[in-house]
Each structure stands twice: as C-alpha cells, then as structure tokens.
Amino acid sequence: MSEAFYSHARLYDLMFPGGGPAVDFYRADANRQGGRVLELGCGTGHKLIPIASDGHPCVGLDFSSDMLAEAQRKANERGTAVEWMQGDMRAFDLGRTFDFVFITANSLLHLHEAEDLVNCFRSVRRHLAPGARFVFDVFNPSVRLLAEADGVRRTRESFMDPDRGDVSVDVAEIYDAPAQVTRGTWYLSTNSEPDFVVAPLEIRSIFPQELPLLVSLGGLRLVERFGDWSGRPFAVDTPLQLCICESA
C-alpha cells in the first residue's frame, strides 16, 4: 500500500536527506563485522552508499524501481560500486551469503502480517554466512501517540525543492488497532500546485513483547536490543528498538 509514496524518489531524498547517527551506526557495525553486506529495503542508498565507499562489497534490495534508480544515480555520481536488485524482502534468494545484513529506517514495518515478518526473517537467515549478524531498527511504539492519530490533516514539515520552491507536507493518519497499522495519507503542496502528490503510507507497529517471538519464529536469535543510536539499552521511553540478531 505504500508503493506510490516511494515512486517519488527525488522528493523522498529532499524530504528525508539522510545522514546523522543512523548512518554512523550502520557504517561502524559493517566495518566491525567486515565482509559482504546486504541491505533490504535499501531505498536510495542513504546507508549503503557510505558503507560501500568504505570498501565493502554491497548488495541493496528494494521493491521500488524508482528508489533503486535514484540509488544507482547517486552511487554512479560518487563512483561507488553497489549491486542494486529489485525484489521483495518477504521472499528472496540471492544464491549467496553475507556477513552483515540490515534493514533500517522502519522499512521492515511495511510488512503488516506477522507471517510476512517471519518469512522475511527466514529469508534473511538463509543468507547469513557463519558468524554473520543481522541488525534492524524499528520505532518503539507509544500507545499514547498511536491513539492520538485522529484522521485530521495537519501540516507536519516543509522542505525546499530546487525545481518547485517551498513544499509543505501535510499528513492525516488513523491507527487501525486490530491490524497494528497506522494508515496515513501524505499530501505535498506548493502555493501554485496544491496536493501535487497524494500518497498513502502504512506502517505497522511491532510491540516489544512480540518482537523476540517473531525473530525466533524466523530461525534467528535476538542477541541485544538497544534503545537509541548511542547504544542505550532498550527501555519504555527509548525511541527505537535497534535489534542485533544472529542465526539461532
């Protein structure tokens, strides 16, 4: 349901410019681990291009041909080699193993069914070399914040598009509690072009108690769960569930 949102890759990069502690975290982890790297839901390569530029052989897999085309363009511009592949993280077979596999920026939360998450973890496991690590980050759901989603359209932010000028971003969200999915619509507008993009974005919540169970059903073991990019332990008030896993 979120494909349309990712069919505007250039706008995505203007809205979410990347960089920051998440890139530093994954880059340091890839360097510590060494060897071959696979990112699932790699988008336009915010994390994978810096990791590849450190000298690791990298593969990036994503559903969206638009995001992959932008990733390829940016990697070419920087003279960095990455193998970009179109595919579905729920079921993939690349015919080789990796030393470091990761899924970042809530990409995993595009899988809404528990079965899809487990299938994804099983596919990951088949691609782990001996001693490999699988790391992913998802937000730590706050029941209070989820319950505040009332379907009302509100301006959330704005950014500068060199072609269009100032773009304002409105979002309307409701929380579908039985599905554990926040169903949003994102509206991008300029003064002269109201709502030039209207796209759904639907993000699941993974609650803290179910997370280790889903991981273990996928044949993996949750070794550690951090709560933020500094490595603070996961707790009720930390923003993230930053999970370090290995084969069970």
Ligand X SMILES: C[S@@+](CC[C@H](N)C(=O)[O-])C[C@H]1O[C@@H](n2cnc3c(N)ncnc32)[C@H](O)[C@@H]1O
* C-alpha dihedral (47, 50, 51, 52), degrees to nearest 10: 120
Query: Per the structure block, which two tokens stand in for 58?
Result: 């990298």
Task: Give me the least distance between CB of 15 and ligand X, in Å please.
Answer: 11
8 belongs to the binding site for ligand X (CB under 6 A) = no
Q: Which is nearer to ligand X, 83 or 150 (CB)?
A: 83
Determine the Cα–Cα distance for residues 146 and 149; give it in Å rounded to an integer. Answer: 6
137 belongs to the binding site for ligand X (CB under 6 A) = no
Segment holding 145, helix H or strand E: helix 143-148
Of residues 70-99, those binding ligand X (CB under 6 A) = 88-90
Nearest 5°: the CA angle 45, 62, 79 is 35
Contacts with 45 (C-beta within 8 Å, 6 or more apart), sequence order: 60, 71, 74, 75, 82, 84
Which of 8, 62, 99, 225 forms a contact with ligand X (CB under 6 A)?
A: 62
Q: Say if strands 240-247 and 220-226 run parallel, antiparallel, or are unpaired.
A: antiparallel
Task: Give me the least distance between CB of 13 and ligand X, in Å please.
Answer: 9
Query: Per the structure block, which two tokens stand in for 179?
Result: 């599905």
Q: Which is nearer to ligand X, 89 or 211 (CB)?
A: 89
Task: Give me the least distance between CB of 159 and ligand X, in Å please.
Answer: 15
Binding-site residue total for ligand X (CB under 6 A)? 20
Determine the Cα–Cα distance for residues 187 and 197; give it in Å rounded to an integer. Answer: 6
Task: Give me the least distance between CB of 99 and ligand X, in Å please.
Answer: 19
186 belongs to the binding site for ligand X (CB under 6 A) = no
141 belongs to the binding site for ligand X (CB under 6 A) = no
Which of 25, 33, 38, 46 forms a contact with ligand X (CB under 6 A)?
A: 46
If we measure between CA atoms, which residue out of 56, 59, 46 comes closest to residue 85? 59
At 25, give phi and psi (nearest 5°): -60, -50
Which of 104, 123, 180, 182 forms a contact with ligand X (CB under 6 A)?
A: 104
Task: Give me the least distance between CB of 184 and ligand X, in Å please.
Answer: 13
Residues that bind ligand X (CB under 6 A): 6, 18, 40-43, 46-47, 62-64, 67, 88-90, 104-107, 110
